[in-house]
Chains A and B, each alone.
Chain A
Amino acid sequence: MTEAQPFEVFVRDYQNMVFSTAMRLLADGAEAEDIAQEVFLKAYQRFAELRDSPTAGGWLKKVATNLCLNHLSRYRARWSFFSEMRAGGGGQEEREIEYAAPENLEEEVARADCWAQVEQALQGLPAAQRVPLVLFHLEGLRYEEIAGKLKVSLGKVKTDIFRGRQALRRKLRTQLAQGM
């Protein structure tokens, strides 16, 4: 257990990043904590390599993403038939396209200091939209890579991401309008 002390520091340094990654992909605190724990247990086995590695953060993020995607495909795919209804299933209202020029939502959000609302809106998206959206914008994956990871067509990835962006924007607009 001589490794325990430096490893504790290592966990402290990276726990927020790993937990954020898992939380944004899974939208469930308990599951995200389980995945984060699994990530750090894997990291412990390779701690000798990781402790001084400048790419440790990237490694942790990649492992967290892969474990989350495995988790989603293993435990959730079989229940998608049941769960889409709960999530709203990406309802009809998301199919229409708005042509109104988007205003600077980011500035508005930063000004109102309501990042928690963005997280909440992101978590409110159905998994089919949230996961590719997070992989694209937060994990920096390309459309083709996302399609490969999620084992869906490129067209579906593009459509889901587009709908996800629209739905997120709509939710935020509503929340900002209500909050101010």
Chain B
Amino acid sequence: MNKQMSSEYEERLQAEMDALLKGLPQRTAPPTLLRRVMAAIESRAALPWYRQSWQMWPAALRVASLVILLSLFGGLCLAGWKLPQADAYASTVGQLSQWLSGVCALWNVLSVLFTAALAMVKQLPAGLIAACLISLGLGYGLCIGLGAAWLRFAFARQ
């Protein structure tokens, strides 16, 4: 009985709100809206073509850019397919690996430092690590809490 009443009530409420909200007249847009839109259009039109959105480029440039992009994409696909078969490929890869050897050395140093730091942390008592983590969490929570309190206070004053 109660469920039936609830369902009837919901249906009537829905119908009532539907009629009410659909009957709402349109709001009047602020008079500044039209001016703002037209000013934005004018300022965009004053920009050089390459700073406007692609849809606003002249048709010839749009076609040309599309052709260039498709050619680039096709070229990349072709290069990815043909390059490993080229004679110069192996020597270029060798050169590249020489250039990257410096980066590898840096990576090795960093990984040694990280391993050392990890070993040092492992030596610390578990309680101290837990206390540090809890302190970090509390500090983070405190920042969020203070931020929330400040915002609520600031908005409440408006």
Contacts and interface: CB of A to CB of B under 8 A. Distances in A.
Contacts of A169: 13, 16-17
Interface in A1-48: 1, 4, 7-8, 11-12, 15-20, 23-24, 29, 33, 36-37, 40-41, 44-46
Chain A residues touching B, majority SS = helix
B36 A33 contact: yes
Interface size on B, as a range, is: 35 or more
Interface size on A, as a range, is: 35 or more
Contact of B41 (A15, A41, A115, A166): A41
B33 A36 contact: yes
Interface string A153-180: 0000000001001101100100000000
B87 to A, nearest CB: 50
Most buried by A among B24, B27, B44: B27
Contacts of B42: 1, 4
A74 interface: no
B148 A81 contact: yes
Contact of B33 (A1, A19, A137): A19
Given A45-B53, A169-B17, A82 B30 contact: no
A27 B157 CA distance: 19
B13 A165 contact: yes
B9 A99 contact: yes
9 contacts: A16-B28, A19-B30, A45-B56, A79-B151, A82-B148, A86-B152, A97-B6, A106-B23, A169-B16
Per CB-CB distance, the 9 closest pairs between chain A and chain B, nearest first, are A19-B29, A15-B29, A137-B21, A20-B27, A16-B26, A106-B19, A82-B151, A106-B20, A40-B37
